Amino acid sequence: MTPRKRARTMRGAQYGVLLLVAAVLALTADWGEIRRAFFDVEVAKAQFPEIITTALVNTVIYTGLGFAFGLALGLLLALMKLSSVPPNRWLATVYIEFFRGVPALLVFIALGYGVPLAFQVRVDKLVTVMLALGLVGAAYMAETIRAGIQAVPKGQVEAARSLGMSHGRAMISIVIPQAFRIVLPPLANELILLTKDSSLVYVLGLALEEQELSKFGKDALNDYRSLTPILVAGLCYLIITIPLGHLVRRLEAKAARAK
Amino acid sequence: MTTDAPPEGPAIEVAGLHKSFGDLEVLKGIDLTVRRGEVVCVIGPSGSGKSTLLRCVNLLEQPTAGKVTVSGTEVTDPDVDIDRMRRRIGMVFQAFNLFPHLTVLGNLTISQRRVLGRGKAEAERLARAHLAGVGLGDKESAYPAQLSGGQQQRAAIARALSMGPELMLFDEPTSALDPELVGDVLAVMRKLADEGMTMLVVTHEMSFAREVADRVIFMDDGQIVEEGPAEQVVTDPQHQRTRLFLARVLDPAAAEVKEVG
Ligand SMILES: Nc1ncnc2c1ncn2[C@@H]1O[C@H](COP(=O)(O)OP(=O)(O)OP(=O)(O)O)[C@@H](O)[C@H]1O
Ligand SMILES: [Mg+2]
């Protein structure tokens, strides 16, 4: 057999296997049951409009707050990691290793229950969500931003300093704006991850109007004894994450072109 | 040059300058004085320390030993405000180093505004004047990536000038350019020299050195081997090492013959 013929046979075999699997599934599955469980149109309709006006909106708010705080803290940590003062670097390293290593769920529990217990304070739920998501996101974003800052050519700082800019001014006006262009795609990826992590807020206990997509879907599942709300909630996540994914690819393509 | 000695004394005074990177001694005791309004070209083989010397003048490199004085202020003094001194020393790099995220106008105004505190209108007015001066009057809203190498380097020169420096350092400003773009940049530098700017220029452009420089310095292995009036150093060098270097730069083929012969 020539190599080309062999390749064609292999491809044909793969199509064959896929078709076979599909056929077996189609013949053996109880379609009525699956339809009732996942695609119950009445149940799906009943989720609207709250799943959008409350749940989706809350997911976006929680994620947005967490991302904004995480970005600011991540930038600070990145600058600490690049600092010429060793304790700054140590602190940042410890922070990053810690928050990358522990489950986000644990951070939510610690902030939601531990902090109020330990310090006898009541913390607003939005603040708790922002802190928990931000603390975790910052650990990932710090490494990304640090790499971005280091990817800015040394000549940029030298040109800025030669024009009389202080180190700080050169960072703010010259290095960081360029670094952010470099790290925009990985940051958008981080935003996608945070969107999904925002579901962890359920451990804080949510009032009806505070529910985000996952909790909303789970409650509806209990109410309707149907998986359909979970499917709808899942699709709502995709409404957020797929455009973000497209954005990432567009930004990556643009970054590749700019080189 | 017959300029009166200004109150600040020479533009640049380098005394006993040493610079090491780890175990590698790159500058081995440099003494150099550049008078105000003087144009001095530094030539020498690759790795001889030309860039390092230039970068020690505005303290992009910290000298290991020795003293550098610019317009009467010792920049190597640890107590000196180096950011303030650097405003007075323009620097032009081989790789241009324009800020790619800013337009040409933004490149020229950002440090005027952030460092000198000039207002937007004044900074832009000065920037436009300097852009016109280097023949880029129509490029103010372009981004660096949209310019040719020669245009980028002229914009970089205009950027340095917009800070109103007392002297300019050039580190091989035309080495990264296609041959047909070199002339425009050299013309800008020539004009600057004619206007009386103090210039310390590292270059391999021997015709520029001969025609524009008041003095040429030949460096080799971290030391100044020979210095003198441009015409003399370039056409009638006194040292064998200078002769070999010039032969290689001016006519690579002939150098082979000489070295063999
Ligand atoms: N930051 C640095 N760290 C270590 N070594 C360095 C550094 N900068 C320069 N050097 C070394 O110092 C020596 C002199 O370098 P320099 O750039 O001053 O030479 P140059 O005369 O400008 O050469 P060229 O014509 O190639 O630009 C070289 O051997 C170089 O490798
Ligand atoms: Mg050099």
Provide the ipTM. 0.92
Q: How many CB atoms lie within 10 A of CB B183?
A: 14
Among A152, A154, A162, most B C-beta atoms within 10 A, so best to mutate, is A162
State whether residue B27 is helix, strand or coil. Answer: strand
pLDDT-derived band at A31 (thresholds 50, 70, 90) equals confident
Give the pLDDT score at B4: 42
Tokens representing A100 are 């990358």
Nearest 10 degrees: Cα torsion B233, B237, B241, B247: 90
Which residues on chain A are in Cβ contact (under 8 Å) with B117?
Answer: none
Which residues on chain A are in Cβ contact (under 8 Å) with B110?
Answer: 173-174
Ligand 1 pocket test target in B19, B52, B94, B202 with most atoms within 8 Å of CB: B52
Q: Whose CA is nearest to atom 31 of ligand 1?
A: B47
Read off φ and ψ for residue B30, nearest 5 degrees: -105, 130
Give the pLDDT score at B5: 44
Q: What is the pLDDT of residues B79-138, one digit of tens each?
A: 999 999 999 999 999 999 999 999 999 999 999 999 999 999 999 999 999 999 999 999
The strand pair at B65-70 and B39-43 is best described as unpaired
Q: What is the pLDDT of residues A162-211, one digit of tens each?
A: 999 999 999 999 999 999 888 988 999 899 999 999 999 999 988 888 99
Which of B97, B98, B115 minimises the CB distance to A164? Answer: B115
Q: Whose CA is nearest to atom 29 of ligand 1?
A: B47
pTM assigned to the model: 0.85
Give the pLDDT score at A250: 87
Cα–Cα distance measured from residue A161 to residue A154, given in angstroms and rounded to the nearest whole number: 11
pLDDT in tens, chain B (261 residues): 444 444 558 999 999 999 999 999 999 999 999 999 999 999 999 999 999 999 999 999 999 999 999 999 999 999 999 999 999 999 999 999 999 999 999 999 999 999 999 999 999 999 999 999 999 999 999 999 999 999 999 999 999 999 999 999 999 999 999 999 999 999 999 999 999 999 999 999 999 999 999 999 999 999 999 999 999 999 899 999 999 999 888 776 655 554 544
Give the pLDDT score at A247: 87
- For ligand 2, the distance from its centroid to the CA atom of residue B50, given in whole angstroms, is 6
Which of B86, B99, B110 minimises the CB distance to A161? Answer: B86
Which residues have C-beta under 5 Å from ligand 2, the single-atom ion? B 51
Give the pLDDT score at A258: 59
* Contact state of A159 with B83 under an 8 Å Cβ cutoff: no
Ligand 1 pocket test target in B19, B21, B169 with most atoms within 8 Å of CB: B21
Q: What is the pLDDT of residues A141-158, one digit of tens each?
A: 999 999 999 999 999 999
- For ligand 2, the distance from its centroid to the CA atom of residue B256, given in whole angstroms, is 24
Give the pLDDT score at B261: 41
Q: Which atom of ligand 1 is nearest to the CA of B222?
A: 14
DSSP-derived secondary structure letter, B17: E
User: What percent of chain A is predicted at pLDDT more than 70?
Assistant: 98
* Contact state of B163 with A163 under an 8 Å Cβ cutoff: yes
Q: Whose CA is nearest to atom 2 of ligand 1?
A: B21
Nearest CA in chain A to B84: A164
| Contact criterion met (CB below 8 Å) for B176 and B128 | no
Chain position carrying tokens 């996101």: A137
Ligand 1 pocket test target in B48, B56, B200, B249 with most atoms within 8 Å of CB: B48
Which of B84, B91, B114 minimises the CB distance to A162? Answer: B91
| Contact criterion met (CB below 8 Å) for B173 and B199 | no
Read off φ and ψ for residue A104, nearest 5 degrees: -60, -30
Give the pLDDT score at B257: 52
Q: Whose CA is nearest to atom 16 of ligand 1?
A: B49
The residues, ordered by sequence, that sit 6+ positions from B199 with a Cβ below 8 Å of its Cβ are B38, B39, B40, B167, B168, B169, B170, B189, B192, B193
Q: Is A158 on the interface with B (CB under 8 A)?
A: yes
